[in-house]
């Protein structure tokens, strides 16, 4: 296990945000550490392992995205992280105390990542239907993280079964909206808790919304993992720059998540010393005028007021009509011994 249920595991997604420079990629890893990430995630593919070099309409993007008009092969050729950089990035991450892992997109990528001793695997949203690939990843007996951006319930069930069929039960399913960026009204974060209950797995959020609010809400709903695209500087540009967080923004998100964890706390009805002291400001019954022994207790001479040194207000109705057992001055807390 690379993460536990007591602390949200926060992943900085490097993705295509390397600007074609190993130096930028390395500094992005270091910046992710400064921003408070627990892990840096890579993507391990080449244009040839993820698609075909075909210039037909099937392979042309026409989805109303920032990438429209490009062919898949060309997009992935420019966005891919060179495999020869992986070893250096894994080493930099280790130096920084970050977990480094990746999303492989074919079996050769899995084999390559095994040589690098990747500690876990991530199934990208569009690969959730590739059951043979998921089975192969899971067979390495490392934690499996699966995004659900395009998934039906059946897709999720099949992916989970693919893991379990090879004896891998360490599964985290991430709620994800496959839009770049994703609109808030499409986030549907209530799905996070449903994932936990419906599938009996850990859950989290792979977030493509702009800003940091969605991760905060996700943690409040039970997310144990947050993944967010991360870029050293948006001026680098690239396929994912427009919906990625820079170092300052990512740090704000991490701080917000950690604050949310503190705010969520635990189920707590314990009467601490502080609570007991604060109860002095609660309501209790007080005498509201000077009364003599034998005077009838009425709404005119007692009230429920602050502070809380007198009788509990729940006794108010039961003592009305009874008599005072002694003379009591205005402003005195009403006690059981004051009533006949």
Burial of 137 (0-12, 13-18, 19+ CB in 10 A): buried
- Is the pLDDT score of 320 beyond 90? yes
Tell me: the pLDDT tens digits for 50-87? Answer: 999 999 999 999 988 788 899 999 988 988 999 999 99
From the list 307, 251, 304, the residue with the least C-alpha distance to 281 is 307
| Three-state DSSP state, 273 | helix
List all residues 6 or more positions away from 213 whose beta carbon is below 8 Å from its beta carbon: 184
For residues 245-268, average pLDDT:
96
Task: Enter the CATH code of domain 9-45+80-264.
Answer: 3.20.20.70
Alpha-carbon 170 to chain mean position: 18
Q: Where are the domains of the chain?
A: 9-45+80-264, 273-338
Element (H, E) at 204: strand 202-207
**145 forms bridges with which residues in the sheet?**
122, 172
Q: Give the contacts of 189 (CB within 8 A, at least 6 positions apart).
A: 175, 205, 214, 217, 218, 221
pLDDT in tens, 220-239: 999 999 999 999 999 998 88
Q: pLDDT tens digits for 2-58? A: 555 579 999 999 988 999 999 999 999 999 999 999 999 999 999 999 999 999 999
Other Cβ atoms within 10 Å of 276 Cβ, number: 9
Fold match between domain 9-45+80-264 and domain 273-338? no
Three-state DSSP at 230 gives: strand
pLDDT at 5: 59
Domain 273-338 has CATH 3.90.1210.10: yes
- Give pLDDT, residue 179: 86
Contact 217, 226 (CB under 8 A): no
Cα dihedral 288, 290, 293, 299 in deg (nearest 10):
-30
């Amino acid at each position: 296990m690379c993460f536990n249920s007591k602390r949200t595991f926060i992943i900085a997604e490097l993705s295509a945000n390397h600007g074609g420079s190993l130096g930028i990629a390395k500094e992005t890893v270091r910046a992710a550490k400064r921003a408070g990430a627990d892990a840096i995630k890579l993507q391990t593919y080449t244009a040839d392992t993820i698609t075909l070099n075909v210039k037909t309409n099937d392979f042309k993007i026409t989805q109303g995205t920032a990438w429209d008009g490009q062919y898949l092969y060309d997009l992935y050729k420019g966005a891919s992280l060179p495999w020869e950089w992986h070893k250096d990035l894994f080493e930099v991450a280790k130096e920084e105390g970050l977990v480094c892992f990746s999303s492989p997109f074919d079996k050769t990528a899995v084999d390559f990542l095994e040589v690098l001793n990747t500690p876990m695997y991530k199934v990208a949203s569009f690969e959730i239907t590739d059951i043979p690939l998921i089975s192969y990843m899971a067979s390495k007996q490392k934690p499996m993280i699966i995004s659900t951006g395009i998934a039906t319930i059946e897709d999720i069930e099949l992916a989970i079964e693919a893991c379990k069929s090879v004896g891998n039960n360490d599964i985290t399913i991430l709620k994800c909206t496959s839009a770049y960026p994703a609109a808030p009204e499409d986030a549907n974060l209530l799905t996070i808790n449903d994932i936990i209950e419906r599938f009996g797995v850990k859950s989290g959020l792979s977030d493509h919304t702009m800003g940091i609010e969605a991760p905060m809400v996700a943690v409040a709903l039970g997310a144990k993992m947050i993944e967010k695209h991360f870029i050293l500087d948006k001026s680098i540009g690239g396929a994912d720059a427009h919906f990625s967080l820079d170092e300052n923004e990512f740090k704000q998100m991490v701080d917000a998540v950690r604050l949310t964890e503190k705010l969520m706390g635990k189920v707590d009805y314990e009467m601490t010393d502080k609570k007991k002291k604060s109860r002095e400001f609660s309501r209790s019954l007080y005498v509201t005028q000077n009364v003599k022994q034998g005077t009838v207790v009425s709404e005119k001479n007692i009230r429920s007021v602050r502070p809380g040194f007198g009788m509990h207000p729940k006794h108010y109705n039961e003592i009305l009509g009874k008599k005072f057992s002694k003379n009591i001055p205005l402003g005195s807390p009403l006690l059981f011994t004051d009533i006949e």
